Structure 1
Amino acid sequence: MRVTFLTGEYPPMQGGIADHTALLARHLAPLGVSSSVLTARRWQEVAPDSPDPAVHPVIPNWGWRCWPAVAGFVRRHRPDVLHIQYQAAAFDLTGWVNWLARFLRFLPARPRLVVTFHDLRVPYIFPKAGRFRWLSMLALARHCDAVICTNREDRHTLERALRKPPRLAYIPLGSNADPQPPPDFDRAEWRKRYGAGKNSLLLAYFGFMNASKGGEELIEAVALLRQQGIDARLLFVGGEVGHADPTNQAYAARVRGLIQRHGLEAVVFRTGYVDLPQVSANLLAADAVVMPYRDGVSFRRTTLIAALRHGCPVVSTAPVNPAFIPEIRPGENMLLAPPGDAPGLALQIARLVDSPDLRRRLSEAALELGRLFDWPEIAHQTYQLYREVCP
Structure 2
Amino acid sequence: MKITMVTGSFPPDVCGVGDYTYFLNKEIRKSGYEISIFYRKNWNLFNFAIYLRQLLSNRADYYHLQYPTEGYGYSFLPLFLFAFLPKKSRIITIHEFSNRTQKARIFTAALLYFFPRIICTNHEELSYIKKHKFLRNKDIKIINIGSNIDRSQHALRSFSDRKFDVGYFGHIRPEKGLEEFINTVKALSLLIPIRCCIVGQVLPRYETYFISLRKRCEGLPIEFILNKDSDEISDILSQIRICFLPFPDGISSRRGSMLAAAMANCIIVSRKSSIKEVNDFFKPYIYLLDDISDGADLLYTILSSKAIPKLETSALVANFSWNEIVKEHLVFYNEVIY
Query: Helix, strand or coil: the match of 1:116?
Result: strand
Alignment CA distance shift 1:190-1:333 (3 Å): closer
Q: Distance in 2 between matches of 1:234 and 1:160?
A: 40
Aligned to 2:145: 173
- Which of 251, 255, 260 aligns to 1:297? It is 251
Aligned AA for 1:100? Answer: L
Aligned to 2:318: 371
Alignment CA distance shift 1:88-1:23 (3 Å): closer
- In the alignment, structure 2 segments of 5+ residues that lack a partner are none
Aligned to 1:45: none
Contact 2:272 2:279 (8 Å CA) reproduced:
no
Aligned to 1:280: 234
Alignment CA distance shift 1:37-1:170 (3 Å): same
Alignment CA distance shift 1:189-1:313 (3 Å): closer
Contact 2:152 2:264 (8 Å CA) reproduced:
no
Contact 1:112 1:390 (8 Å CA) reproduced:
no
Does 1:380 find its partner at 2:327?
yes
When structure 1 is superposed on structure 2, of 173-182 and 349-358 the one drifting more is 349-358
Q: Distance in 1 between matches of 2:141 and 2:24?
A: 16
Contact 1:307 1:314 (8 Å CA) reproduced:
yes
Which digits, 9 at most, give the CA deviation of each residue in 1:125-170, with x for residues without a partner?
xxxxx64x32321133211121110010111222331425432000
Does 1:209 find its partner at 2:172?
yes
- Which of 173, 180, 183 aligns to 1:220? It is 183
Contact 1:100 1:140 (8 Å CA) reproduced:
no
Report % sequence identity.
Answer: 24
Q: Distance in 1 between matches of 2:59 and 2:238?
A: 44
- Which of 345, 349, 353 aligns to 2:303? It is 353
Contact 2:244 2:268 (8 Å CA) reproduced:
yes
- Which of 222, 232, 235 aligns to 2:194? It is 232
Aligned to 1:257: 215
How far is the alpha carbon of 1:69 from its aligned partner? 2.8
Contact 2:166 2:241 (8 Å CA) reproduced:
yes
Aligned to 2:20: 20
Q: Distance in 1 between matches of 2:138 and 2:159?
A: 52
Query: Helix, strand or coil: the match of 2:302?
Result: coil
Alignment length (residue pairs): 337
Aligned to 2:117: 146
How far is the alpha carbon of 1:216 from its aligned partner? 1.0
Q: Distance in 1 between matches of 2:302 and 2:210?
A: 27
How far is the alpha carbon of 1:123 from its aligned partner? 6.5
- Which TM-score applies when normalising by structure 1? 0.79
Does 1:306 find its partner at 2:253?
no
- Which of 57, 67, 81 aligns to 2:62? It is 81
Aligned to 1:335: 287
Query: Helix, strand or coil: the match of 1:67?
Result: helix
Contact 1:148 1:171 (8 Å CA) reproduced:
yes
Contact 2:91 2:116 (8 Å CA) reproduced:
yes
How far is the alpha carbon of 1:202 from its aligned partner? 1.7
How far is the alpha carbon of 1:176 from its aligned partner? 0.8
Aligned AA for 2:113? Answer: R
How far is the alpha carbon of 1:182 from its aligned partner? 7.2
Q: Distance in 2 between matches of 1:122 and 1:189?
A: 37
- In the alignment, structure 1 segments of 5+ residues that lack a partner are 43-60, 125-129
When structure 1 is superposed on structure 2, of 307-316 and 230-239 the one drifting more is 230-239
How far is the alpha carbon of 1:324 from its aligned partner? 4.1
Q: Distance in 1 between matches of 2:64 and 2:94?
A: 11
Aligned to 1:116: 93
Alignment CA distance shift 1:64-1:122 (3 Å): farther
Q: Distance in 1 between matches of 2:159 and 2:305?
A: 18
Q: Distance in 2 between matches of 1:62 and 1:248?
A: 20
- Which TM-score applies when normalising by structure 2? 0.90
Alignment CA distance shift 1:321-1:248 (3 Å): farther
Contact 1:6 1:82 (8 Å CA) reproduced:
yes
